[in-house]
């Protein structure tokens, strides 16, 4: 396929997706990756280049629900094949849902989510600061610990950036028992776990983190 038809197809997908779901995201993440050169040169940039069209494009294009008032999308490579994985939270005036899918997903991929909880999750993730670039002298990989890409739509504004593993779970903070730092893994757990399950998870985490202390 020549370059022009490919660009045309990709552009149509972005156009139609944005129109169907009314989310002003650049799912090519060009500006986002330019602003984060380590992520761009590392596995995240390579992964986006290898998968310019992903399942989220189809999901956005096929969306037929109420206008989306707030949304969160996390995209990342699968652990073994590198195939795209996505978690998508949608909040409308009528309710909310959380969806998880990859290229093999069929049928029902979304479940209901309390609207207030969905908005709170999106707001908490949006408030998390974009961490500084990784210190490569302390990293095991050449370009740091980037693992995925985040897109948020909230209060009429869009935000996109790469995600670092230390945001999902900070071993140093957990080991010291610090609870002042918001962990992305903890926030996203609220989309899938009940209040009782979250309380149990918190107790187990506190017990585990305190077991190594003198």
Position with higher pLDDT, 103 vs 59: 59
Q: For the chain, give every domain's residue range.
A: 25-166
Position with higher pLDDT, 10 vs 183: 183
What burial letters (b/e) apply to 163-196, b meaning 16+ CB within 10 Å? bbbbbbebeeeeeeeeeeeebbebbbebbeeeee
What's the confidence (pLDDT) of residue 10? Answer: 42
Residues 6 or more apart in contact with residue 103 via CB below 8 angstroms? 54, 55, 83, 84
Q: Which of 18-22, 57-61, 111-115, 195-199 has the highest mean pLDDT?
A: 111-115
Q: Is the model's pLDDT at 65 over the cut of 60?
A: yes
What's the confidence (pLDDT) of residue 106? Answer: 63
- The residue-averaged pLDDT of 98-115 equals 84
pLDDT one-digit tens code per residue, 74-106 = 999 988 888 999 999 999 999 999 999 877 776
Residue 142 — φ and ψ, nearest 5°?
A: -65, -35
Q: What is the DSSP letter of 118?
A: H
Q: Is the model's pLDDT at 14 over the cut of 90?
A: no
Residues 6 or more apart in contact with residue 10 via CB below 8 angstroms? 28, 52, 53
pLDDT band at 212 (very low <50, low <70, confident <90, very high): very low
pLDDT one-digit tens code per residue, 149-161 = 999 999 999 999 9
- The residue-averaged pLDDT of 69-76 equals 97
Task: Please state whether the predicted TM-score (pTM) of the whole model is above 0.75.
Answer: yes
What's the confidence (pLDDT) of residue 157? Answer: 96
Q: Is the model's pLDDT at 178 over the cut of 80?
A: no
Q: Which of 18-22, 131-135, 189-193, 202-206 has the highest mean pLDDT?
A: 189-193
- The residue-averaged pLDDT of 21-41 equals 93
Beta strands 146-154; 96-102: pairing state: unpaired
Average pLDDT score, the chain: 83
């Amino acid at each position: 396929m020549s370059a022009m038809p490919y660009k045309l197809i990709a552009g149509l997908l972005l156009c139609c997706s944005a129109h169907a779901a009314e989310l002003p995201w650049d799912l090519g993440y060009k500006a986002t990756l330019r602003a984060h050169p380590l992520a761009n040169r590392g596995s995240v940039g390579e992964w986006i280049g290898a998968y310019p069209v992903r399942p989220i494009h189809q999901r956005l294009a096929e969306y037929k629900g109420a206008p989306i008032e707030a949304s969160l999308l996390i995209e990342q490579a699968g652990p073994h094949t590198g195939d795209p994985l996505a978690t998508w939270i949608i909040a409308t005036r009528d309710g909310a849902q959380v969806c998880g899918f990859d290229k093999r997903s069929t049928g029902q991929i979304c479940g209901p989510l309390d609207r207030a909880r969905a908005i709170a999750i999106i707001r908490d993730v949006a408030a998390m600061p974009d961490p500084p670039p990784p210190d490569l002298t302390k990293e095991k990989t050449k370009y740091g610990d980037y693992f995925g890409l985040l897109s948020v739509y909230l209060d009429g504004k869009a935000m996109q950036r790469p995600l670092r593993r230390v945001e999902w779970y900070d071993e140093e903070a957990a080991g010291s028992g610090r609870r002042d730092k918001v962990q992305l893994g903890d926030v996203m757990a609220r989309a899938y776990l009940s209040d009782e399950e979250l309380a149990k998870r918190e107790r187990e985490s506190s017990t585990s983190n305190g077991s190594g202390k003198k």
